[in-house]
């Protein structure tokens, strides 16, 4: 099970993300999960989880606003960002990622958490927060999130995205991210998204994630989301479905969450305007404002 680490030199010129990084061991064979832990001015703790094929850099526009209310913790999943990376696609699984998230949260002993999650961050973070360790979480912000119990058909745009990743011989994460944003990303930001991946073998985690999304009820991970669906019906803590207006991949889940979660329709019925799948990139400051208002209300 070969592990590699991306040289820190590749991150030296990443714009607006110069927070010191730390790491914790999250697998039995020693894989390190990197994270930034930004102190804040209030008592809140925000746990921000990224998705495919990004890393904590995605949240750089949101951290300044969130830290006005408290601590902001932003990890990189194994295979992404500054975290260690397996070079074999077969080493990645739903349960591996889920277990590393569990070990990460328990290692930092996070408590009183507002979960902020998007894309794969929601696929892993929502069942963990709602069904596994709800005592650690005070609030949830589901941003362009998914509920993947295998009962909901994934849209054609998602299948096109999956095929784009798995069928290419030279996957460029930055080009995919740019294409899924409404705004055009500048060269230094594109370089920031390429920084974790110096070569093809370092992209194994990014290649692995799209086909891993549960598509049928017997797909690994679908059982966790089936339980999540049931547990969300009884979730009585604040829940904010914060979705963008230009993301065909996840838009179908927004009203599902608002209908399913008893507290979700207590929150404003808003769409983040002029934002695509990566709404943190297109409208990060606006998203942070919505979340701070959510915290202040609840």
Architecture in CATH of 3-297? 3-Layer(aba) Sandwich (3.40)
Taking only the tens place, the pLDDT of each residue in 145-173 is 999 999 988 899 888 888 888 888 789 99
Of 50, 225, 277, 290, which is the active-site residue?
A: 277
Q: Is 277 an annotated catalytic residue?
A: yes
Domain extents for the chain? 3-297
Of 76, 84, 97, 119, which is the active-site residue?
A: 119
Residue 191 CA to residue 238 CA, distance in Å, equals 37
- For the chain, the average pLDDT equals 96
The residues near 41 (Cβ < 8 Å, ≥ 6 apart) are: 67, 68, 69, 70
Taking only the tens place, the pLDDT of each residue in 224-261 is 999 999 999 999 999 999 999 999 999 999 999 999 99
The residues near 168 (Cβ < 8 Å, ≥ 6 apart) are: none
Of 76, 149, 247, 282, which is the active-site residue?
A: 247
Q: What percent of the chain has pLDDT over 90?
A: 93
Residue 1: per-residue pLDDT: 58
Bridge partner residues of 45 (DSSP)? 71, 113
Q: How confident is the model over 194-220, as a mean pLDDT?
A: 95
Q: Is 159 an annotated catalytic residue?
A: no
Q: Is 97 an annotated catalytic residue?
A: no
Q: How confident is the model over 266-282, as a mean pLDDT?
A: 97
Grouping H, G, I as helix, E, B as strand and the rest as coil, residue 143 is strand
Taking only the tens place, the pLDDT of each residue in 25-56 is 999 999 999 999 999 999 999 999 999 999 99
């Amino acid at each position: 099970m070969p592990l590699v680490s991306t040289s820190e030199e590749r991150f030296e010129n990443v714009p607006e993300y110069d927070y010191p990084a730390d790491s914790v061991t999250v697998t039995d064979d020693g894989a390190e999960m990197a994270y930034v832990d930004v102190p804040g001015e209030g008592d809140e703790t925000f746990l921000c989880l990224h998705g495919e094929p990004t890393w904590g850099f995605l949240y750089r526009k949101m951290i300044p606003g969130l830290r006005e209310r408290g601590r902001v913790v932003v990890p990189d999943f194994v295979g992404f960002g500054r975290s260690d990376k397996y070079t074999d696609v077969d080493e990645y699984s739903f349960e591996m990622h889920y277990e590393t998230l569990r070990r990460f949260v328990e290692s930092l002993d996070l408590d009183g958490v507002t979960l902020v999650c998007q894309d794969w961050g929601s696929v892993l973070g929502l069942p963990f927060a709602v069904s596994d360790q709800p005592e650690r979480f005070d609030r949830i912000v589901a941003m362009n999130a998914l509920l993947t119990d295998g009962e909901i058909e994934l849209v054609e745009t998602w299948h096109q995205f999956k095929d784009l990743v798995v069928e290419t011989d030279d996957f460029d994460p930055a080009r995919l991210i740019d294409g899924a944003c409404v705004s055009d990303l500048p060269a230094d930001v594109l370089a920031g998204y390429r920084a974790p991946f110096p070569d093809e073998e370092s992209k194994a985690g990014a290649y692995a994630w799209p086909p891993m999304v549960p598509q049928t009820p017997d797909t690994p991970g679908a059982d966790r989301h089936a339980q999540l669906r049931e547990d969300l019906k009884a979730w009585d803590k604040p829940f904010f479905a914060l979705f963008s207006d230009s993301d065909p991949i996840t838009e179908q889940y927004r009203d599902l969450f608002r209908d399913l979660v008893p507290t979700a329709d207590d929150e404003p019925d808003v769409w983040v305007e002029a934002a695509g799948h990566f709404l943190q990139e297109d409208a990060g400051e606006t998203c942070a404002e919505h979340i701070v208002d959510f915290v202040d209300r609840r």
